[in-house]
Structure 1
């Protein structure tokens, strides 16, 4: 009974604040305040406040919440232990001498590296663009631009 009275008073105060806000020509804010102030009275009329009060003061409900929290804690603990043990298994498997190593290809570790581009001949002009580097990456583009006078 007390919770319903408090919710009704909060709604009435909110509607009063909304009326003052609308009087000051701030209609969007007044509409938002009105929406917020109608929520507590709506909860009273649907019976949600009575249910929440009965749940809050029920020892059986608190035991149920405690059991749910304990189950969640056990679940999260087992997941953390499982993740740690899987990480330890992966590390120990990698350290074993008989463990298969990932293949690096026919050329070994150096096969994946790129070689330096060939230096231009003595008679050739160096590239004007520093972003292009020493290679012939943008030589075709430069030729087209020179052809059009750009």
Structure 2
């Protein structure tokens, strides 16, 4: 009962501020203030305020919050350990395709002959260096 009264007073004060803002012809700001002013009453009516107050003073709830925090910490540390090892799922997908699969083309657009292996990829290497890869 006390929670509902306090939230109603808080909302009434916020609506009073919204009225004063609207008097100055700042209607958009007044609507925002009114929206925020109605939140305490809405939360009190749904029971969220009582739930939060009961959770705040409950040691079991704090222990559960600690367990959730530990689980998040373990999950993040596992991701870091996997990343340092170098064998993550994202690394294999992020690597570019091997240049050997692409045929090297010479000036006229014809594929290069297979005689010079290092010269076949010189154009591709130049393009990759140009883009910083």
TM above 0.5, yes or no, is yes
Alpha-carbon distance in structure 2 between the residues aligned to 1:103 and 1:30: 62
Deviations 1:111-144 (A, max 9, x none): 2335xxxxxxxxxxxxxxxxxxxxxxxxxxxxxx
Partner of 2:119: 110
Query: Under a length normalisation based on structure 2, what TM-score does the superposition of the two structures give?
Result: 0.64
Per residue, is there more helix in 1 or in 2?
A: 2
Alpha-carbon distance in structure 1 between the residues aligned to 2:6 and 2:14: 12
Structure 1: which 4+ aligned runs deviate by more than 6 Å?
Answer: none
**What's the offset of the Cα at 1:2?**
5.3
**What's the offset of the Cα at 1:57?**
0.9
Question: Aligned pair count?
Answer: 100
| Gap regions ≥5 residues in structure 2 | 88-97, 104-113, 124-133
**What's the offset of the Cα at 1:76?**
1.1
Structure 1 vs Structure 2 CA RMSD: 2.2
Partner of 1:55: 55
Partner of 1:133: none
Alpha-carbon distance in structure 2 between the residues aligned to 1:64 and 1:4: 28
Partner of 1:141: none
Query: Under a length normalisation based on structure 1, what TM-score does the superposition of the two structures give?
Result: 0.58
**What's the offset of the Cα at 1:6?**
3.8
1:78-117 → structure 2 map (5 Å cutoff): 78-86=78-86, 106=114, 107-114=116-123
Partner of 1:72: 72
**What's the offset of the Cα at 1:82?**
1.6
Task: Please say which structure displays the higher CA radius of gyration.
Answer: 1
Partner of 1:93: none
Is 2:19 the partner of 1:19?
yes
| Gap regions ≥5 residues in structure 1 | 88-101, 115-150
Alpha-carbon distance in structure 1 between the residues aligned to 2:2 and 2:79: 44
